[in-house]
């Protein structure tokens, strides 16, 4: 049962607000998401049918969490409720209604960025556009931008002005034709086509407007134009739209998000009730102060006062590392320390970074030290070759017209069916307007096909027909995948390959089978009821559901906070989440803010908001670090500390973690000229040019150990130093105590020289 007493008065108002538009504009950690959850529970308790409620969140993970929260508040009363991301809600709508759009059918597949790029490249080839002159990725991202603005190829061509755009125009046109021909949607189509569906079919729109009488949207500041249009269409009739967001956390401008959508809400809905939440429940005072201090430097923002009743907490700890390895070592060492001293668990920690490339070194360090971690960065797992191969098989079985997937599997494993055979097949299928999988059944009629290709092709066609039948009959995706692996020879091929990569591939496939197994298990539980023409029908999601889930899953969505592992992710993926202890690495000019954004005030402001998001993920402790020298993308860089750092007041910044015992240096302060990082310094220790930004503890006296030296440790007893990495106080000493090697940090080991 939910209790309104668990909310503050303004939150309560938001939850109890019944009819009409409602805007909640509030800072990080003020309970926006909690209000949404309670509001859903409250609506249901007031007798609103959950079937009439649509809640939109930013990631599948957030959706799952919200669904669980609501269920825990209202129990089975919540059945029928839609908690979805924009994409998953739209896919669900399109699965039922896409027939209204000419050229598409319900078995459509969803192309990911790799598939999209393949299509763009093939368009460019046909149009004789040189990939060296026009980067396919740049073209793809222009197409994507256009779609996010709901521009069709025709709209786009009307607006195309410069030479590049004119080239994009021709690609966009052909690209879209190919997608339709393959019965495929790309990610942006999912939203765009739903908007088109509603605009062109008022009766369908009316049906959904009547269904979704209450609409709630989290993270509204990150909606793009297409999403905005969609929500407004749905909410137009009943106007029961509740949106929550924070303009200071708008961080998806690069994907077409427009913060105006939230700022102009009152213009769109003049009768809107507007509420502001000002109390932060998540973070300590220090953390909140740091976050506020940073974001304040953005000029164009709605001023907010965010305060907290939480305790002051620990100051923010910073570390100037020599290089990225030293930074990673520091993080690992801090984690161990907090585990030991505060009894923390691995899943209390999150390591956040600006770019994915920063994770590798930290990963390596964690692996070496046996720190379990989970990494959430893009679609890594699903981008792997073998996973894409298997998925391609599943997709072509599901949608026999999918030429991209067909092209991928035709000769995998090798069947002696090469490029030219493929081209002839595709030409034939296109000419005959036949699904490609059916076209190959007619191998004997395909013109110019080499005789020696016919036999293997017919064998392949036969095999695929059998698998197709199985795909229809077999409800377990796991079984289907196992059959594919076996009957196509894919697995044997992999087993036969003795390279180390092949081994990793086998592991990935095993991991994939655990994904399918998990799905099958859930599918058993969640046999859901779907409304088909007004009738409820029980449907097992099966293969279609699985492919949908995979297409929509961002890696972040597999995040399970219950797992005992440190979480590593980009700041973008950390949105909406919270962790007791947060590390933010790479606080350097050129990294964060990124070099691209440093010269452009608009981009810089977005980076600063990103920094605000990062800091406000932390509940209790925050560690910031900066490397004086960093190797990234194969180049060594010497960066200055991030300007965002310098915006944090020095009173709440320390270079010595308060959980560490005081050392000699603390008892006997060093002369002011070298105490660059001391907490008493009035100027930020990071300020370049005014102060030495070197790490003062690096050259602390009395810590110059030598290999071979005999030492004594309070707990481990007598030992011998066998290796030293690094220098001074942060050096890592390998010491043998009674036959066992221990790795210790010079500064904290407090070894006595014998």
Q: Identify which of residues 33 and 628 has a Cβ nearer to Mg ion in the complex.
A: 33
For residues 282 and 34, the answer to whether their CB atoms sit within 8 Å is no
What residues numbered 29-48 form the site for ligand ATP, per CB under 6 A? 29-34
Q: Is 364 a catalytic residue?
A: no
What does 281 bind: ligand ATP, Mg ion, none (CB cut-off 5 to 8 Å by kind)? ligand ATP
Q: Could you say which of 28, 552, 610, 622 contacts ligand ATP (CB under 6 A)? A: 28
Q: Could you say which of 2, 7, 123, 153 contacts ligand ATP (CB under 6 A)? A: 7
Place of tokens 């300590």: 284
Under rule CB under 6 A, residue 281 binds ligand ATP: yes
Under rule CB under 5 A, residue 576 binds Mg ion: yes
Taking the complex as a whole, the smallest distance from the CB of residue 347 to ligand ATP amounts, in Å, to: 15
For residues 644 and 291, the answer to whether their CB atoms sit within 8 Å is no
Taking the complex as a whole, the smallest distance from the CB of residue 253 to ligand ATP amounts, in Å, to: 17
Under rule CB under 6 A, residue 282 binds ligand ATP: yes
For 518-525, which contacts have Cβ atoms below 8 Å and span 24 or more sequence positions?
519/477, 519/545, 519/546, 519/549, 520/475, 520/476, 520/477, 520/478, 523/475, 523/477
Q: Could you say which of 189, 222, 246, 348 contacts ligand ATP (CB under 6 A)? A: 246
Under rule CB under 5 A, residue 33 binds Mg ion: yes
Taking the complex as a whole, the smallest distance from the CB of residue 373 to ligand ATP amounts, in Å, to: 22
What does 336 bind: ligand ATP, Mg ion, none (CB cut-off 5 to 8 Å by kind)? none
Interacting stretch for Mg ion, rule CB under 5 A, among 26-34, 183-191, 224-232, 404-412? 26-34
Binding track, positions 614-633, relative to ligand ATP; x by CB under 6 A: --x-----------------
Contacts of 683 (CB under 8 A, 6+ apart): 650, 690, 691
Catalytic residue among 69, 178, 408, 617: 617
Taking the complex as a whole, the smallest distance from the CB of residue 358 to ligand ATP amounts, in Å, to: 22
Q: Cα separation of 198 and 185, whole Å?
A: 17
Q: Cα separation of 55 and 89, whole Å?
A: 9
Interacting stretch for ligand ATP, rule CB under 6 A, among 7-15, 45-53, 485-493, 529-537? 7-15
For residues 686 and 650, the answer to whether their CB atoms sit within 8 Å is no
Catalytic residue among 11, 32, 643, 655: 32
Q: Distance of CA 587 to CAs 352, 363, 627, 647, Å? A: 11, 18, 8, 12
Ligand-binding site membership of 32 (annotated) = yes
Count, residues near Mg ion per rule CB under 5 A? 3
Ligand-binding site membership of 313 (annotated) = no
Taking the complex as a whole, the smallest distance from the CB of residue 28 to ligand ATP amounts, in Å, to: 4
Angle between the 385-398 and 477-487 helix axes, to the nearest 10 degrees? 110
Tokens coding 586:
């790479």
Taking the complex as a whole, the smallest distance from the CB of residue 82 to ligand ATP amounts, in Å, to: 20
Return the bridge partners of 110, or none.
185
Q: Is 656 a catalytic residue?
A: no
Closest residue by Cα to residue 724 from 708, 740, 748: 708
Q: Is 249 a catalytic residue?
A: yes
Q: Is 79 a catalytic residue?
A: no
Binding track, positions 525-564, relative to ligand ATP; x by CB under 6 A: ----------------------------------------
Q: Is 663 a catalytic residue?
A: no
Taking the complex as a whole, the smallest distance from the CB of residue 78 to Mg ion amounts, in Å, to: 20
Q: What is the DSSP string of 496-517?
A: H--SHHHHHHHHHHHHHHHHHH
Q: Could you say which of 256, 541, 576, 696 contacts ligand ATP (CB under 6 A)? A: 576
Q: Is 289 a catalytic residue?
A: no
Ligand-binding site membership of 28 (annotated) = yes
Q: What is the DSSP string of 376-435?
A: E-TTHHHHSHHHHHHHHHHHHHH-TT-HHHHHHHTTSS--S--HHHHHHHHHHHHHHT--
Place of tokens 């010079």: 746
Under rule CB under 6 A, residue 8 binds ligand ATP: yes
Q: Give me the phi and psi of 4, to 5 degrees please.
A: -65, -20
For residues 562 and 124, the answer to whether their CB atoms sit within 8 Å is no
Q: Give me the phi and psi of 515, to 5 degrees please.
A: -65, -45
Q: Identify which of residues 150 and 574 has a Cβ nearer to ligand ATP in the complex.
A: 574
DSSP 746: H
Under rule CB under 6 A, residue 313 binds ligand ATP: no
Place of tokens 């303009």: 247
Tokens coding 489:
């020879």
Taking the complex as a whole, the smallest distance from the CB of residue 33 to Mg ion amounts, in Å, to: 3
Query: Interface with ligand ATP by CB under 6 A: which residues?
Result: 6-8, 11, 28-34, 246, 249, 281-282, 576, 578, 616
Query: Interface with Mg ion by CB under 5 A: which residues?
Result: 32-33, 576
Active site residues: 32-33, 218-219, 249, 617
Binding site feature residues for ATP: 26-33
């Amino acid at each position: 049962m939910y209790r309104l007493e668990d909310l503050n008065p303004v939150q309560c108002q938001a939850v109890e607000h019944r009819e009409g538009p409602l805007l909640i504009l509030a800072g990080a950690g003020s309970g926006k998401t909690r209000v949404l959850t309670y509001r859903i529970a409250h609506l249901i308790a007031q007798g609103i049918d959950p079937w009439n409620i649509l809640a939109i969140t930013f990631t599948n993970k957030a959706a799952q969490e919200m669904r669980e929260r609501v269920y825990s508040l209202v129990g089975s009363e919540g059945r029928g409720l839609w908690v979805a991301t924009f994409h998953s809600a739209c896919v669900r709508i399109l699965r039922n209604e896409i027939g209204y759009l000419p050229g598409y059918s319900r078995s459509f597949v969803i192309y990911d960025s790799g598939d999209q790029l393949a299509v763009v490249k093939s368009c460019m080839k046909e149009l004789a556009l040189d990939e060296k002159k026009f980067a396919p990725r740049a073209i793809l991202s222009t197409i994507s931008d256009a779609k996010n603005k709901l521009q069709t190829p025709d709209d786009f061509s009307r607006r195309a002005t410069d030479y590049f755009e004119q080239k994009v125009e021709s690609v966009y046109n052909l690209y879209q034709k190919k997608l339709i021909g393959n019965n495929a949607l790309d990610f942006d189509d999912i939203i765009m086509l739903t908007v088109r569906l509603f605009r062109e079919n008022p009766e369908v729109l009316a049906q959904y407007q009547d269904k979704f009488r209450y609409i709630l949207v989290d993270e509204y500041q990150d909606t793009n134009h297409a999403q905005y249009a969609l929500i407004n269409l749905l909410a137009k009739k009943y106007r029961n739209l509740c949106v929550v967001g924070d303009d200071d956390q708008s961080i998806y401008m690069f994907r077409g998000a427009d913060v105006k959508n939230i700022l102009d809400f009152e213009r769109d809905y003049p009768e809107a009730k507007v509420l502001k939440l000002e109390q932060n429940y998540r973070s300590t005072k220090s953390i909140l102060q740091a976050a506020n201090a940073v974001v304040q430097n953005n000029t164009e923002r709605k001023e907010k006062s965010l305060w907290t009743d939480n305790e002051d907490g620990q100051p923010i700890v910073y570390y100037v590392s020599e290089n990225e390895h030293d930074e990673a070592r520091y993080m690992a060492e801090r984690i161990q320390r907090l585990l030991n001293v505060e009894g923390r668990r691995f899943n209390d920690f999150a390591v956040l970074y600006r770019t994915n490339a920063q994770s590798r070194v930290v990963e390596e360090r964690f692996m070496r030290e046996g720190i379990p971690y989970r990494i959430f960065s893009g679609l890594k797992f699903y981008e792997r070759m073998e996973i894409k191969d298997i998925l391609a098989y599943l997709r072509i079985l599901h949608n026999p017209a999918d030429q991209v997937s067909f092209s991928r599997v035709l000769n995998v494993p090798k069947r002696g069916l090469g490029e030219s055979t493929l081209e002839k097949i595709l030409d034939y299928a296109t000419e005959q307007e036949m699904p490609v999988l059916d076209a190959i059944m007619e191998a004997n009629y395909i013109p110019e096909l080499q005789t020696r290709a016919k036999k293997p092709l017919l064998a392949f066609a036969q095999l695929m027909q059998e698998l197709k039948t199985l795909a229809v009959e077999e409800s377990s995706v796991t079984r289907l995948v196992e059959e594919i692996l076996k009957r196509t020879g894919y697995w044997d091929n992999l087993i036969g390959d003795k390279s180390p990569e092949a081994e990793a591939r086998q592991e990935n496939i095993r991991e994939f089978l655990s994904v399918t197994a998990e799905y099958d298990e859930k599918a058993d539980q969640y046999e859901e009821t779907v409304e088909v023409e007004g009738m409820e029908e029980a449907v097992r999601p099966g293969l279609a559901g699985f492919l949908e889930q995979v297409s929509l899953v961002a890696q972040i969505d597999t995040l399970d906070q219950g797992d005992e592992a440190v979480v590593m992710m980009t700041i973008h993926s950390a949105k909406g989440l919270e962790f007791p202890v947060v590390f933010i690495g790479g606080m350097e000019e050129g990294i964060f803010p990124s070099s691209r954004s440093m010269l452009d005030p608009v981009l810089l402001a977005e980076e600063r908001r990103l920094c605000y998001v990062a800091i406000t993920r932390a509940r209790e402790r925050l560690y910031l670090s900066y490397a004086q020298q960093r190797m990234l993308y194969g180049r060594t860089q010497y960066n200055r500390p991030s300007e965002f750092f310098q915006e944090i007041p020095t009173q709440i910044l320390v270079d010595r973690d308060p959980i560490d015992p005081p050392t000699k240096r603390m008892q006997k302060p060093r002369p002011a000229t070298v105490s660059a990082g001391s907490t008493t310094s009035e100027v930020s220790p990071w300020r370049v040019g005014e102060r030495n930004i070197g790490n003062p503890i690096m050259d602390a006296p009395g810590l110059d150990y030598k290999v071979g030296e005999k030492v004594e440790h309070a707990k481990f007893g007598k030992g011998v130093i066998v290796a030293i990495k690094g220098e001074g106080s942060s050096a890592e000493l390998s010491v043998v105590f009674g036959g066992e090697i221990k790795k210790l940090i010079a500064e904290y080991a407090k070894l006595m020289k014998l």
